[in-house]
Amino acid sequence: MNDPQLLTPAGWEDYELIDSGNFEKLERFGRWITARPEPQAIWTKSLPESEWTRLATAVFRRDARSEERGQWVRKPAMPEQWWVAYRYGNMTLRMRMGLTSFKHVGLFPEQAENWNFIYDQVRRIGTVREEPARVLNLFAYTGGATLAARSGGAEVTHVDSVKQVVSWARENMERSGLDGVRWIVDDALKFVRREVKRGRLYDGIILDPPAYGRGPEGEKWVLEQHLPELLADCARLLVPRNSFLVLNLYSMGLSALLAKGAVNQLFGTEIPTFSEQFGELYFLDRAAKALPLGVYYRFSR
């Protein structure tokens, strides 16, 4: 069995983890610096509070009545929206940043490591097949993985249950100079069930499910309960050769080995060209503290 790998993106110019600790992280997105909660930053901050206060142009304050919601306190010059860029090879992605009431800012920068993988796989498959790869991106959020696949030449189906988020992803596509994405506002599990019945096949599947969520019609998503069924259906949708899969898990307590075991059982590993990677995504802050930011599993075959 391969050993787990720790991966951190090396290509960011518009992102930096400045400091972390006391269950918070201080990050730079372009020229603007945010401070927000981070449950895995269990250590002590390296910079003094006065430096956090001086540097942060927006600070997220959690609502005392809610575990998830809150509001941002911005310095006068700080905009509500701005743009950052990410480059890899011939790919340039432009992503709009925004301060949301759930502490998110429209981007998970650690996913750039998977964007690189997706871009490379799509180009590889396109070369072998001499036609565009077909990629399905589930729980696709603001579309970083979608844009990476499209930049590599894939035909991409982007699925998310939140209409406003899909509109955000479309805006990112247009600003990145891309087009041709198939946009779907739907519950991921329901959509995949229908695709199986339709006999659809994909060359690449990307899954980035939350721990909990709701579909557009109130459908309830619980990761541990629904992920096995979703993976089983995805196994029916993925072509057996010259294909790839990427799975991200953010739920604390779920391991890379768990992801590997679940995928291997349903997709198989017997193809000679099968290659897999799994482990954790992380960033180092300026004090060299490694902040884990999610579990990943991915294979190509």
- Which tokens is 246 given? 């990427």
Q: Is residue 190 part of a domain?
A: yes
Position 285, amino acid: D
- CATH number of the CATH domain containing 56: 2.60.40.1180
Q: What is d(CA 32, CA 160) in angstroms, rounded to the nearest whole number?
A: 28
Domain span at residue 23 reads 8-82
pLDDT tens for the chain, 301 residues long, are 688 999 999 989 999 999 999 999 999 999 999 999 999 999 999 999 999 999 999 999 998 777 778 999 999 999 999 999 999 999 999 999 999 999 999 999 999 999 999 999 999 999 998 999 999 999 999 999 999 999 999 999 999 999 999 999 999 999 999 999 999 999 999 999 999 999 999 999 999 998 877 878 778 878 888 999 999 999 999 999 999 999 999 866 789 999 999 999 999 988 889 999 999 999 999 999 999 999 999 999 9
Are 48 and 179 contained in the same domain? no
Which residue matches tokens 């809610």? 66
Are 191 and 57 contained in the same domain? no
Q: Is residue 3 part of a domain?
A: no
Residue 2 φ then ψ, to 5°: -65, 155
Indicate the number of domains in the chain. 2
Residue 86 φ then ψ, to 5°: -135, 135
- CATH number of the CATH domain containing 120: 3.40.50.150
Distance of CA 80 to the CA centre of its chain: 22
Q: Is residue 296 part of a domain?
A: yes
Q: What is d(CA 78, CA 67) in angstroms, rounded to the nearest whole number?
A: 25
Are 147 and 61 contained in the same domain? no
DSSP-derived letter for residue 193 is H
Are 107 and 56 contained in the same domain? no
Residue 64: which residues within 8 A CB-CB, separation 6 or more? none
Q: What is d(CA 117, CA 125) in angstroms, rounded to the nearest whole number?
A: 12
Are 57 and 127 contained in the same domain? no
Q: Is residue 53 part of a domain?
A: yes
Q: Is residue 66 part of a domain?
A: yes
